[in-house]
Amino acid sequence: MSSNAARVAGRHFLQIPGPTPVPDRILRAMDMPTIDHRGPEFQKLGKRVLDGMKTIFKTDNPVIIYPASGTGAWEAALANVLSPGDKVLMFETGHFATLWKNMAIKLGLHPEFIASDWRIGADADAIEARLREDKAHEIKAVCVVHNETSTGCISLIPEVRKAIDNAGHPALLLVDTISSLASIDFRHDEWGVDVTVSGSQKGLMLPPGLSFNAISDKALAAARKSSMPKLFWSWEEQLPHNAKGYFPYTPGTNLLYGLAEAIDMLHEEGLDNVFARHDRHAEATRRAVRAWGLEVLCRDPKYYSSSLTAVLMPEGHDADSFREKTLNHFDMSLGTGLTKLSGRVFRIGHLGDTNDLTMLGALSGVEMGLSVAGVPHKKGGAQAAMDYLADCARDTLSAAA
C-alpha cells in the first residue's frame, strides 16, 4: 500500500528504555507456523523456555511465564502470596514503584510507601528501620523495583535482603526486574528474593507480550495460604502443567520461539559479558551527559542504572519539545519524562541488543538534537563517549595479548 509520507533512509533509532529493538535473529525465530500447544513439539519448546529462564533469573526454582505485560506479572506476584487486607512495604523510587503501589490498593492490600525524591534507589536503612518498628509482623511483603525505568536509579537488592534479615522480619521480598533482567546482574536465589517480576520487551530483546514470576520455596508456601481471588495468575493452576512443558491456557507460542532464541543468544555472549557491555554503555552515556554540561537525574553514583540514563533539562527548556525535534530531524526516539518528571527529563535507553557503534550513533543524535532544539549545552559529549569506548577496546586488546 502506498503512502504519501516520504521514506526515511536507514533504520529508526529506538533509544527508549524499552521496548528495545528486536534482533533479526529473534524475528526469524518467531517466523514459524503456529503449532498445537497440546502436542509433543510444543512440549519440547515449553520445557526449553521454562528451564532456560531459570538460568536467566539464576534460580533452581520454578519460573512462571504469562502471556502478558509486566503489569500482569506485578499482579500475579501480589495475588499469589498475599491476602486482602495484608500490609506491604514499598519504596517510592519513581513512576513504576508508584503504579505497583496503586495496584496493591486496588487489590485490597494496604501498602505503606516510603517517600523519596525519585533520585535514588530504595534506601535499605529506611526499610530496616520500618521493619524493626513492626513488632507484630503485620507487614507481609517488601516490594522493591530493582531498576526504576522512569528515573535510571537501581536499588541494591542484597542490601534490602540484609535489611530484612537484620530486622529479624519474616516479610517476603518481591522485586521488579522488568528493565534490569538480562541487562544488570540479578541473582534470585543467592540474593534471597521470594518473587521476581519481569517482562520480555527489554533486556530479553523480545516484543512485548511475555511476563515472568520467579518464585522461592517461601513464596510457594505463602501461596498456599493466600486468599486473594485469582485464576489466570494462579501459580497453583500453572505449575502442574509447566512440569510437563505445557500451560493451562493457550500460550504465546511464537513469542516463546523468540524467547528460546533470546536465551541462547544471552548464553552465547555470556551473561557476565552482557552485564559488562551494559555497564560500559551506561558509563559512556553518563560521560557524554557530563561533557554536555547537563545533569544525570540519579544523584548518587551507587544507584546508577546500566539500563538507561535519565537526563535533567536546563531550567526553562521542555524535554518533550527537544524529543520531538530529535525524532523529526534524526529519526530517533528517546524516553519521555513520566508523571512528576514530565517535561523535565529525557531518557536514553542503553539496554538490549546494543553495541558501541549503536550507542555512539545515539549519543551523536542526542547532541545534534540539543543543538537543533536550542538547548544550552557544551559540545563534545559524543566525543567523550567515543574516547571512553576506544579506551575500553584498547584495554580489552591489551588484556587478550
**For the packed helices 356-372 and 271-291, what is the interaxial angle rounded to 10 degrees?**
20
Cell of 235: 501459580
Look at residues 327, 348, 374, 329 and name the one whose alpha carbon lies nearest to residue 284: 348
Q: Please tell me the distance from the alpha carbon of residue 306 to that of residue 351, in angstroms, as a whole number.
A: 7
* Contact status, residue 153 vs residue 119, Cβ threshold 8 Å: yes
CA–CA distance from 350 to each of 19, 128, 265, 324 (Å)? 11, 32, 18, 19
Residue 144 phi, psi dihedral angles, 5° rounding: -135, 140
Residue 70 host element (H or E): helix 70-81
Which residues in 23-52 are b (16+ Cβ under 10 Å) and which e?
beebeebbeeeeeebeeeebeebbebbbeb
Which residue spans within 192-326 are E strands per DSSP?
195-199, 211-215, 295-296, 308-312
* Contact status, residue 218 vs residue 174, Cβ threshold 8 Å: no
Residue 320 host element (H or E): helix 319-330
Cell of 308: 538507561
347 annotated ligand-binding residue: yes
Q: Which long-range contacts (C-beta less than 8 Å, at least 24 apart) are formed by 27-31?
A: 27/258, 29/257, 29/258, 29/260, 29/261, 30/254, 30/255, 30/257, 30/258, 30/261
- Name every residue whose Cβ is closer than 8 Å to that of residue 126 and which is 6 or more positions away in sequence: 91, 114
Q: Which residues are annotated binding-site positions for substrate?
A: 347
Q: Which residues are annotated binding-site positions?
A: 347
